Amino acid sequence: MIAQVAIILPIALPLATMAMLLLAWNSVAAQKVIGVVGSALLLLSAAALMWLVDRDGILVLQVGNWPPPFGITLVADRLSSIMVMLAGLMVFAVSVYSIATIDDRRIDFGFHPLIQLLLMGVCGAFLTGDLFNLYVWFEVMLISSFVLLTLGGERGQLEGAIKYVTLNLVSSAVFLAAIGVIYAATGTLNMADLALKLRSFPDEGIVSVLAMLFLIAFGTKAAVFPLFFWLPASYHTPPVAVSAIFAGLLTKVGVYSLIRSFTLLFVTDLEFTHNLLLVIAGLTMVTGVLGAMAQTEIRRILSFHIVSQIGYMLMGLALFTPLALAGSIFYIIHHIVVKTNLFLIGGIVERRFGTGRLAEVGGLYRSAPVLATLFFVSAMSLAGVPPLSGFFAKLTLIQGGLEAERYAIVAAALMVSLLTLFSMTKIWAEVFWKPTPEGTGVKASRNPRATTEQVSLFGPTLLLATITVGIGVMAGPVMIASLATAEQLLDPDIYIKAVLPDSHLTESQTGFLVPETNVASVAAQNLESHGPLASIREGAVR
C-alpha cells in the first residue's frame, strides 16, 4: 500500500496543487505560497519514492487493478525515480525563484497552475509503463509548455512559441503513428509486454523501422541533431523561471524516453540502431557547441549548450556498456542541476541590466561577487573542470568510450568540452570581468532590495550551486547509484519480471540472474574494477 501511494503521489500532488491554485485564483499572494508548498511536498514525495525503490526494487502499480497489459501501469525503477526526484528539486527551486521574477499579470493568467500541470506531465512521463500514456503525458507537457511560452503575449514569445509547438506537434504525430503501427504489429502497448513480443518478432526490418520512428519522435523532443532548431529559437523568449524549468527538464523527458525505449524495446539490432545513435550523439555535441560559440546573448548561448550536452547523454546510451550508460545517467543528474542554475543566474544578470546581450553588460565581478562565484561554479562544472560534477560525468563517458574502443566519439567529446569551456569563459569575461560599458549600467530599480526578494533570487541559485559541488565531492556514491541504474537498464528482464510476474520467462531464456536488491552491490563491485574511478569509490567509502 505504501509503495502504491508513493508511485501515484508525484502525479497526484501536482494535480491537487493545481486544483488549490485554481481555488485561490483571485489571490496572487496565496498562489505564490501554494505553489512553493506544493513543490516542496512533491520534492519530499519524490525523495521517499527514490528511497523505496532503492530499498525494495522496482515498484509497480496497476491502476484500477486491471491486469497488465490491459490496464494502466505505473512503474518506478531506479531511472524513473531519479528523474522524478530531479523534477521535484528543479520545480521547487524555480517556484521560489518565481516569487521575485514573475509579475502579477502573468500570475493572473495562470502561471502557477500551468507549472503544476507541466510538472504532472513530466512526472507522468517518467512513471508510465505503457506507450499510449507516455503519448498522453507528452501532450499534457506540450499544452502547458505552449501556454507558458506565450504567457505575456510579447512578440518574441509568440514567434518562439510557434516554432516550438509546430515541431513538437510534428514529433507527436510521428509518435502517434509509431504507436499505431506497433500496436497493429504486436497487439500491445505495455512496455514490458512489448519488450517480450519484439524479441520474438519475425521481421527484424519492421522492428528497425519502428525504432527509427521512435527515434524521430523522441529525438525531436530531446533536441538531437538535426531536429533541434526549435529549442534555441524558443527558450530565450519566455520569463527566466519558465526558461529554467524548460532547460532543466523538458528535453530530459525526450532523453529519458530514448534511454527507456533503446534499452528495453529496440535491442535486437544494436549494430544498426546504436551505431546510428552514436553518430547522432557526436553531431549533436559538435553542432550545439558551434552554435553556442556564435551567439552573443546569455540565454541563447545556454540554449545551444543544451543541445550540445544532449549529445553527451546519448553517447553513453549509444555505447551501450554499463560504464558508458552510467556516465549518461551521471551526466543527466549533473546537467539538470547545472543548466537550471545557469539560466537562473542569467536571469539575475538580465534583471540587473535589463538585457542579456554580452556587449551591454559587465563589471559584475566587483559589484556582485556572490553572483559571480555562483556563475563560476556552475559554468566550470558544465565545462567539466575538476573537481565539479561535470568532470566526473565526462570522465566516466570518456572512459566508457575508450573501453568500447570508440575513439572518434571520445575525440569529439574532448574537443566539445574544450569549446564549451571557451564559450563559458566568454560569458564570464563579458558579464563579470570586463568593466561596465559606458552608457549602460545596473538598473537601480531592478536591484533586489527586500530580504524576501533577495532570498527568492539567490536562495535557489545557492542551493543548486551547492548541490553541484556536492555531486563532485560525493562522486563515489553518485557513481555507484548511476552504475546500479545502468545495470538495471541493461538487464530488461528485471523490468519485465516486475511488471509481468506471471510471464513465461525462464532463467535460461532471459539471463535474469541478478536479484533486484543486489543491483547496487553488483554496481559497486563493477566500479571497483574501473581503474581511475576506483579512487572515487574509495573517497565515498571514507
**For position 32, what pLDDT does the model report?**
94
When mean pLDDT is compared across 55-64, 272-281, 439-448, the lowest value belongs to: 439-448
Q: DSSP 3-state assignment of 297? A: strand
Q: Cβ(363)–Cβ(435) under 8 Å?
A: yes
Distance CA 328, CA 74 (A): 24
Count of domains for the chain = 1
- pLDDT, residue 527, reads 53
CB contact set of 225 (below 8 Å; sequence gap of 6+): 280, 283, 284, 287, 288, 307, 311
Question: Does residue 512 have a pLDDT over 90?
Answer: no
Q: What is the mean pLDDT of residues 104-126?
A: 94
Question: For the residues 181-194, what does the mean pLDDT come to?
Answer: 94
Lowest mean pLDDT among 400-409, 431-440, 516-525: 516-525
Task: Provide the mean pLDDT of the chain.
Answer: 89
- Residue 456 domain-assigned? yes
Q: Is the pLDDT of residue 537 over 80?
A: no
pLDDT exceeds 50 at position 155: yes
- pLDDT for 443 equals 57
Instruction: Determine the Cα–Cα distance for residues 318 and 315; give it in Å rounded to an integer.
Output: 5
Can you tell me the mean pLDDT for 333-352? 94
Name the packing angle between helices 322-353 and 451-473 (round to 10°).
160
Mind listing the pLDDT tens digit for each residue in 428-477? 999 999 888 876 666 555 555 667 888 899 999 999 999 999 999 999 99
Element (H, E) at 131: helix 131-150
Q: Which H/E stretch holds residue 210?
A: helix 204-222
Q: How high is the pLDDT of residue 157?
A: 82
Query: What nine digits make up the cell of 541?
Result: 567509502
Question: Which residue range(s) make up the domain with 190?
Answer: 1-438+452-499
522 domain-assigned = no
Q: Is residue 509 assigned to a domain?
A: no
Q: Is residue 371 part of a domain?
A: yes
310, 232 Cβ separation under 8 angstroms: no
Distance CA 514, CA 516 (A): 6
Separation of alpha carbons 91 and 42, rounded Å: 9
* Residue 387 pLDDT > 60: yes
Closest by CA to 390, choosing from 320, 321, 342, is 342
Helix residue ranges, H only, 294-363: 298-319, 322-353
Judge whether residue 523 has pLDDT over 70.
Answer: no
DSSP label at residue 358: G
- Does residue 54 surpass a pLDDT of 90? yes
> Above 60 in pLDDT, residue 532?
no
Q: Residue 190 — very low, low, confident or very high, per pLDDT cuts 50/70/90?
A: very high
405 has a pLDDT exceeding 60 = yes
pLDDT of residue 203: 85
**Location of C-alpha cell 514529433:** 171
531 has pLDDT over 70:
no
Mean pLDDT is lowest, of 91-95, 125-129, 227-231, for 227-231
Average pLDDT over residues 300-310: 94
Q: Give the pLDDT band (50/70/90) at residue 367.
A: confident
Q: Which amino acid is present at 436?
A: T
- Residue 521 resides in a domain: no
First to last CA, the chain: 37
Check residue 67 and give its pLDDT: 82
Residue 506 is predicted with a pLDDT of: 46
Q: Is residue 510 part of a domain?
A: no
Confidence band (pLDDT; 50, 70, 90) for 173? very high
State the pTM of this model: 0.91
33 assigned to some structural domain: yes
Of 13, 19, 252, which Cα lies nearest the Cα of 141? Answer: 252
Confidence at 542, pLDDT banded by 50, 70, 90: very low
Cell digits of residue 263 = 534499452
Per the structure block, which three cell numbers stand in for 316? 553513453
Asked if residue 8 belongs to a domain, the reply is: yes
Look up residue 83 and give its three cell numbers: 528523474
Percent of the chain with pLDDT over 90: 72
Q: Which pLDDT tens digit goes with each residue over 470-492?
A: 999 999 999 999 999 999 999 99
Please report, rounded to a whole number, the percentage of residues in the chain having pLDDT higher than 70.
90
What span, in angstroms and rounded, lies between the C-alpha atoms of 170 and 76? 29
Beta-carbon-side half-sphere exposure of residue 252 (alpha carbons within 13 Å): 31
